[in-house]
């Protein structure tokens, strides 16, 4: 079986995901011309209202805006009378949820090394920067939507509930409080309102989870929120988390300010024996790959940021 997009046939290799409730299938496919794998999201539009079809088209339009290597690439879309198809990059590897769960399963009560955490958070932050620079709110940032290849390179996906910001309004409102509850900002849950600061809340939850291997919302519900381990990690991570998880979204920093804070964090080099860390979850040579990725981020992505006289990143949001 194959699917044709822009006159190219893509052979279905396997089902990656099926969501019967909304009539969506996600396939890994092979382009036999270039012999490369891709992903096709197939969404049923049979008997759907025009407004629904327009919303699906908007998702494709949103994906087409992004150029960053930190975001899953979009390659095109098409539709017929029954289905809408979105062609995307295939991310070989797993997601951040798998990475965290493997750590907890194989090494319970043992923390990740700080330089691995730094690498993940820095790449994720630059991906969010690209999203916000394009005046988009992701609204469903969570470990399951953060893909990681065998070289620990991050790509953000899961843009099905993303929305463009209306530049004439401080907030957009939505009746459908989209997103995953554990990572959804308080203003969305309470009022159905959001701006880019909703993604900042989700980022705070994710950083908390990577550093503690616990889910922030579950801890908050049980009033068992724990600070990061200051014996293993720089205490500036705690300050960053606290600033991101402000109930009043106006008090949360924007992504440029966050990147500025991250750049000032010095990594503690704790031995593997002390942390009991499994550094071979992805069978990588971290001493070569991770510094290389960080250097590339510093050299290519940081050079585009502008600083004021106090060495603070100027906000473009």
Give the SS3 label for residue 40. strand
Alpha-carbon distance of 94 to 211, in angstroms, equals 19
Burial of 52 (0-12, 13-18, 19+ CB in 10 A): middle
47 is annotated as an active-site residue: no
Which of these, 154, 195, 141, lies nearest to 68 by C-alpha position? 154
Is the Cβ–Cβ distance between 237 and 211 less than 8 Å?
yes
Alpha-carbon distance of 212 to 228, in angstroms, equals 6
Instruction: Kindly state the DSSP code that residue 153 receives in the 8-state scheme.
Output: -
Q: What are phi and psi of 160, to 5 degrees?
A: -65, -25
Helix (H) or strand (E) holding 289: helix 286-296
The count of other CB atoms within 10 Å of the CB of residue 80 is 11
Alpha-carbon distance of 246 to 154, in angstroms, equals 26
Segments of 96-233 assigned E as strands: 136-137, 146-148, 154-156, 163-164, 172-173, 193-194
Q: What's the maximum distance between 2 C-alpha atoms anywhere in the chain?
A: 60
Burial of 273 (0-12, 13-18, 19+ CB in 10 A): exposed
Question: Which entry of 15, 140, 224, 231 is annotated as an active-site residue?
Answer: 140
Catalytic residues: 140
């Amino acid at each position: 079986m194959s699917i044709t997009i822009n006159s190219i046939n893509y052979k279905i290799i396997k089902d990656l995901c099926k969501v019967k409730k909304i009539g969506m299938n996600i396939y890994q496919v092979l382009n036999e011309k270039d012999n490369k794998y891709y992903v096709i999201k197939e969404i049923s539009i049979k008997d759907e209202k025009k407004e629904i079809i327009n919303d699906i088209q908007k998702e494709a339009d949103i994906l087409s805006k992004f150029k960053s290597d930190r975001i899953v690439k979009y390659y095109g879309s098409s539709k017929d009378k029954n289905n809408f198809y979105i062609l995307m990059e295939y991310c070989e590897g797993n997601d951040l949820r798998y990475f965290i769960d493997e750590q907890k399963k194989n090494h319970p009560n043992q923390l990740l090394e700080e330089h691995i955490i730094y690498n993940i958070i820095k790449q994720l932050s630059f991906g969010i920067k690209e999203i916000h620079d394009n005046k988009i709110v992701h609204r469903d940032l969570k470990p399951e939507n953060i893909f990681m290849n065998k070289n620990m390179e991050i790509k953000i996906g899961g843009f099905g509930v993303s929305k463009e910001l209306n530049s004439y309004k401080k907030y957009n409102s939505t009746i459908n409080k989209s997103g995953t509850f554990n990572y959804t900002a308080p203003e969305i849950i309470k009022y159905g309102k959001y701006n880019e600061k909703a993604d900042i809340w989700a980022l705070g939850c994710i950083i908390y989870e990577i550093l503690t291997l616990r889910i922030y919302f579950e801890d908050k519900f049980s009033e068992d929120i724990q600070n990061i381990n200051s014996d293993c990690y720089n205490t500036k991570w705690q300050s960053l988390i606290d600033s991101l998880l402000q109930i009043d979204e106006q008090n949360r920093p924007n992504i440029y300010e966050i990147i500025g804070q991250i750049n000032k964090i010095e990594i503690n080099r704790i031995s593997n024996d002390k942390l009991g860390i499994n550094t071979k979850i992805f069978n990588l040579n971290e001493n070569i790959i991770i510094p290389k990725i960080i250097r590339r981020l510093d050299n290519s992505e940081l050079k585009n940021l502008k600083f004021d006289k106090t060495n603070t990143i100027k906000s473009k949001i």
